[in-house]
Amino acid sequence: MEYLVEVYNFTAKARALASSTHLLSGTVPMFPWTHAAFGYLLLLLVAVLLRRRLSRAELIAVIVGTQLPDLVDKPLAWWFNVLPSGRSLAHSLLVAVPLSLLVLAVAWYLTHPEVGFAFAVGYATHLVGDSYVALYYWRPEELTYLLWPVLPAYPYDDFVGLTDFFSQLTVTPNFVVVLVVAVGVGLGFAVQFVHAEPLR
């Protein structure tokens, strides 16, 4: 019991130190475009390591995978009040894993497993992108959505319209860096998509 108390005290001190020293002051906010960039870059890295070119279907699949959790959860939570949080149903591993396996199985049956893999990569990077800050600070209570509905969804979010978002936007060095990288990645994606081969 004393060991558990010591571990808890250590993690609490580490969390406070990280907050006080702003170790994550340069974290990347996860918007749709940053989710897309994260998934695309990871898939591109895999393709480079395997020395193969990505098809248009793979590029589409990875983008769909990076956006699907928010396209499901946020409208159902914010507009229809069906879900308790914008991170719940489609953000849960209890849905994400079976759905990714199903897409992979269908793609395999259609002789294009690489498309299913691209979707799974995009989906996985979305969940990682939403979780990395809580993992870094070790705030497990903010990760309960990963096992929703077994665990309650963490009530972290409120609906923010585009007008409110841009009116409250503060231009910081971190924001400028993220914007430049996002534009660069977007242009790279567009060029690659134009020159990519269709499925055969």
Q: What is the chain's Cα-based Rg?
A: 19
Owner of token pair 């959790």: 69
| pLDDT score at 92 | 98
Q: In the predicted model, is pLDDT for residue 2 greater than 50?
A: no
Burial (CB count <10 Å: 0-12, 13-18, 19+), residue 26: exposed
How does residue 11 score in pLDDT terms, banded at 50, 70 and 90? very low
- Do 154 and 143 form a contact (C-beta atoms < 8 A)? yes
Tens of pLDDT, residues 138-158: 999 999 999 999 999 988 655
- Do 72 and 91 form a contact (C-beta atoms < 8 A)? no
How does residue 17 score in pLDDT terms, banded at 50, 70 and 90? very low
Rounded Cα distance, 96 and 168, in Å: 32
* C-alpha 140: how far from chain center: 17
Rounded to the nearest integer, the mean pLDDT of the chain is 84
* Closest CA relative to residue 61, chosen from 39, 46, 41: 39
Rounded Cα distance, 193 and 60, in Å: 9
Mean pLDDT for the stretch of residues 1-26: 40
| pLDDT score at 158 | 57
Could you give the residue ranges of the DSSP H alpha helices within the chain? 2-20, 32-50, 56-74, 93-109, 113-137, 162-167, 173-195
Among the ranges given (19-33, 102-116, 158-172), the one the predictor scored with the smallest mean pLDDT? 19-33
Rounded Cα distance, 145 and 142, in Å: 7
Tens of pLDDT, residues 36-95: 999 999 999 999 999 999 999 999 999 999 999 999 999 999 899 999 999 999 999 999
Rounded Cα distance, 146 and 169, in Å: 29
- The C-alpha angle 60, 61, 66, rounded to 5 degrees, equals 100
